[in-house]
A and B are shown apart, each in its own frame.
Chain A
Amino acid sequence: MRDYRHGRGKPRTGWEKNSQIQRRSLTCFNLGFTSTLFRPHQYRRLPPPVAAMPQGDYIERHRKLHGYRHDHFERKRKKEAREVHKRSAMAQKALGIKGKLFAKKRYAEKALMKKTLAMHEESSSRRKVDDDVHEGAVPAYLLDRDTTTRAKVLSNTIKQKRKEKAGKWEVPLPKVRPVAEDEMFKVIRTGKRKTKQWKRMVTKATFVGPSFTRKPPKYERFIRPSGLRFNKAHVTHPELKCTFNLEIIGVKKNPNGSMYTSLGVLTKGTIIEVNVSELGLVTPAGKVVWGKYAQVTNNPENDGCVNGVLLV
């Protein structure tokens, strides 16, 4: 704060003040130490004139030399006791997004507290466990012998080939919402008078391969904008439960139609083939697996990324 009361109306700035203090202290200092007239031991018991220069550990040092305030512990205890009331006031008064966030956090805290309390209340004494016994239960050595059927052990590849032939797949999302054509395409008007409407622009995410080149613009009917093209997918392994960022090799099938499959449109439920060489999978024969199918599980145009689940 600038003090305008002193001096002839000139504000005393902080810098001036400091220099004045410094000057004062310098003179005290000089008197004490550079003069050789006074014998040093006369000043042995005088306290230092002003507080000493604080060093890096000044807080601990002050505590060591002077201890705490006389009411320090009481104040601390009371402040901590007041926190409870403050928190509840905040919880009641907070509005809007802050209120919601706070409520969520608080709910999580309370749930955790309840769990720990329940844990503490669990007694460590052992109790007898009663297992219900079924009526008519018979021990294994009294069972009748069943007829054995001869089952062939089939390899995984053969199973997959059979499934492919049948056209039946076990996928995580068996049913998806159908996407209408007007939702999928946007009509582009062309021509000098903008009357021709035969061009369509795809509004969903697409995959075009690395060797893709456009048809001459005059003849291309379906425009797949480059901003909506994706090359990589975040694929989760269902058993390992971890996600990898894998390259897309191609679109296998789009549930909305074969046209979309040929265009390479990625919507929810599309089966894509991804490059799994990263995972280091090996067939029983010893060959390295580098391509596997995955199903898209989100709407890539809404999320900006393609998420999928690996089909094992």
Chain B
Amino acid sequence: MAPAASKLYADDVSLLMVLIDTNPFFWNSINTSLSFSKFISNVLAFLNSILLLNQLNQVVVIATGYNSCDYIFDSSALQNHNQKGESLLQKLEEFVDKDESLCRDDSVDGPGFSLLSGSLSMALCYIQKVFRSGPLHPRPRILCLHGSPDGPGQYVAIMNAIFSAQRSMVPIDSCIIGAQHSAFLQQASYITSGIYLKPQLLDGLFQYLTTVFATDLHSRSFLQLPKPVGVDFRAACFCHKNTIDMGYICSVCLSIFCKHHKKCSTCGSVFGQAQTQDSSTPDRKRKTSVDN
């Protein structure tokens, strides 16, 4: 459902926010079918083809690092059009340097977590700015090229970003280049009616990108695109950030806990004591199963 004003544009003008996972620990640990350089070259070719589809299309690239996130490319910024790829790579290098300087861990086990919530928030802020720029604007969508595993500590922030995207009617597409499915991005794509895809052949990443993710929002109403079988709706508990499907919920703010607590850490409400003299343990608030 497009805001009425954007009808003044052609239907297929899009603003694509691409969130690239630049977590070095993930890229270091990946099994070799897709190296980072191959990945970046596929993405660059994809960005070029998006810009070729329509003269008014815009692309913005945000790098999702281990310690920080930043914009590394904006096609609407005035620059020499022949140097687009060069400037993107330049900015990417600078970003990696900055990210390293912010790094506080000397070493990390396994792939580590990238700051997806940060880059989602930055993308949504940019989109809001575009919305407020006037009646003429392209239809925005977000594409997450993600490989790092889900960081449970970011569950709340990511869910907030997802709901905000849903409310602004911005679809979040996800292309998973890592080894495992991402429950957060599955939920994101489901809730915002985006596309979730985990490519089988990472060599042909460019083909996946142009076939599935280059489609603009208007065309999606009559194109058949891949649909995932099911979505993992399980939540993560707020105390340990573990994924759970049965737990305790505070009846005031609906925060989820895996173990019994005396006080809710989010809203501060105190859980009451039992009324009878039979047991001395405090009465728990309603325990509900969390599997939907």
Do A and B actually bind?
Answer: no
